[in-house]
């Protein structure tokens, strides 16, 4: 009977995909982890390990990881390595890798562009009955691109084959062909039928197309209620823009709780306008209920939206900083940085705030110079002396003023305060 420790070792080995060691035998040698392996994280490291062991699917996925890269410096985008791993998977007959290499040649984004060779490779895979290649080829001919003219007849042919072979996205694209009459006689009812079939299987593009269909008068009268149903389905399927639009709709209807829920889902996917709306919603809640936590949340959302470079979000963040809500204070320089982009685009409010800061800083500088003059015995400036005169007189001492020392001390400058140079 096996001991508990032995059973535990075998269970862990099975979960990790390795061969359990027999008690008394030496464990197989493991390849040591490098610093780069450690930095890439557990999930990527496990994928790399499987890819290096020869698993074709892992080689393809690891190639994709290199193609996309991550936000971390430890795993940057690397097209050369992506192609290297795709070729390894392709050599084992992995069709997805072969298709990706064909697309890379067609588009010229990871390999030197060769449109004819790329099309030839994708067509070869499509002729073999690979649905993904058939769908890609149909989309290429439908949209056209550099070196490939639009060909709606070919597009319809390949999309129809892909749809018959179970490719969901192509089923929706086939619906677009019927609805618009591209490569086939126009048939709105048939188009909606294909779109609905794809949408029911979770295809988000088909859902979005159905929203447009039900908001228009073809093939039947517009049906906004039906369009709204599909928008909700698209939002539930994870479409950020649909989530944002539902959140805005709920806000207009006065349902703040539902609005916040939808907006947060969109914001968590990086939707910048959703972050901005959440910031404004939380700030309004703070004013309504005088809750500090709402102001803190507002500031966090404004900051996230501003960090994405959104000009209006930076403007809102500047106003938030000036309001000093949520216990947050910012340097004047940070506030000005928030207003500058909007001012450059002609925003009158941002221009006015920046002009206010300029006047404020001029007044502060003049007051500081007068204070230093009195401190070192230069007396009060006459009423006819303007602040600009004072600024010009002591402009060469800008470094001293910036450091808080005022004008040079007599010990450093014998000409100061009427002293004569020695000798």
**Integer Cα distance of 150 and 124 in angstroms:** 19
Choose among 262, 263, 265, 258: nearest CA to 280: 263
Q: Which one-letter DSSP state was computed for residue 220?
A: S
Beta bridge partners of 148: 145
Give pTM, 2 decimals. Answer: 0.74
Q: Average pLDDT, stretch 164-184?
A: 97
Sign of CA pseudo-dihedral 255, 257, 260, 264:
negative
Q: Average pLDDT, stretch 222-246?
A: 96
User: Cα separations (Å) of 412 from 120, 359, 398, 416?
Assistant: 81, 32, 16, 9
Confidence of residue 90 (pLDDT cuts 50, 70, 90): very high
Helices (H) and strands (E) in the chain, counts: 22, 0
Q: Average pLDDT, stretch 241-262?
A: 96
| Residue bearing the bigger pLDDT, 389 or 163 | 163
Q: Concatenated DSSP letters for 340-398?
A: HHHHHTT-HHHHHHHHHHHHHHHHHHHHHHHHHHHHTT--PPPTT--HHHHHHHTGGGH
pLDDT at 328 over 80: no
**Integer Cα distance of 255 and 272 in angstroms:** 21
Least reliable range by pLDDT among 64-73, 260-269, 272-281: 64-73
85 alpha-carbon distance from chain centroid: 26
Confidence of residue 219 (pLDDT cuts 50, 70, 90): confident
């Amino acid at each position: 009977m096996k001991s508990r420790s032995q059973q535990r070792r075998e269970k862990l080995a099975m979960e990790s995909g390795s061969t359990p060691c027999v008690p008394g035998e030496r464990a197989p040698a493991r390849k040591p982890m490098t610093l780069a392996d450690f930095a890439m994280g557990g999930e990527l490291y496990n994928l790399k390990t499987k890819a290096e062991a020869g698993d074709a699917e892992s080689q393809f996925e690891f190639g994709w990881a290199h193609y996309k890269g991550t936000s971390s410096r430890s795993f940057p985008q690397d097209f050369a390595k992506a192609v290297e791993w795709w070729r390894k998977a392709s050599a084992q007959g992995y069709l997805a890798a072969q298709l990706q290499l064909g697309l890379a040649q067609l588009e010229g984004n990871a390999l030197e562009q060769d449109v004819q060779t790329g099309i030839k490779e994708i067509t070869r895979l499509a002729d073999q009955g690979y649905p993904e290649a058939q769908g890609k080829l149909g989309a290429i001919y439908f949209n056209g691109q550099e070196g490939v003219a639009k060909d709606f007849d070919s597009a319809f042919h390949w999309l129809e084959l892909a749809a018959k072979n179970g490719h969901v996205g192509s089923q929706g694209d086939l619906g677009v062909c019927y609805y618009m009459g591209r490569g086939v006689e126009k048939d709105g009812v048939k188009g909606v039928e294909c779109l609905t079939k794809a949408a029911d299987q979770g295809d988000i593009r088909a859902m979005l197309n159905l929203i447009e269909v039900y908001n228009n008068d073809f093939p039947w009268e517009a049906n906004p209620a039906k369009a709204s149903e599909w928008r909700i389905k698209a939002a539930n399927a994870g479409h950020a823009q649909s989530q944002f639009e539902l959140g805005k709709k709920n806000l207009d209807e006065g349902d703040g709780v539902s609005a916040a829920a939808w907006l947060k889902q969109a914001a968590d996917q990086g939707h910048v306008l959703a972050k901005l709306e959440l910031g404004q919603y939380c700030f309004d809640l703070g004013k309504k209920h005088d809750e500090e936590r709402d102001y803190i949340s507002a500031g966090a959302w404004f900051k996230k939206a501003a960090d994405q470079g959104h000009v209006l979000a930076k403007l809102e963040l500047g106003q938030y900083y000036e309001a000093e809500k949520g216990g947050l204070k910012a340097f004047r320089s940070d506030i000005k940085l928030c207003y500058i982009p909007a001012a450059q685009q002609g925003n009158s409010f941002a221009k006015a705030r920046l002009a206010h800061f300029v006047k404020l800083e001029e007044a502060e500088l003049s007051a500081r110079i007068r204070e230093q003059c009195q401190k070192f015995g230069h007396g009060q400036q006459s009423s006819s002396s303007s602040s600009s005169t004072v600024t010009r007189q002591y402009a060469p001492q800008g470094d001293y003023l910036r450091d808080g020392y005022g004008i040079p001390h007599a010990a450093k400058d014998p000409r100061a305060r009427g002293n004569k140079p020695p000798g």
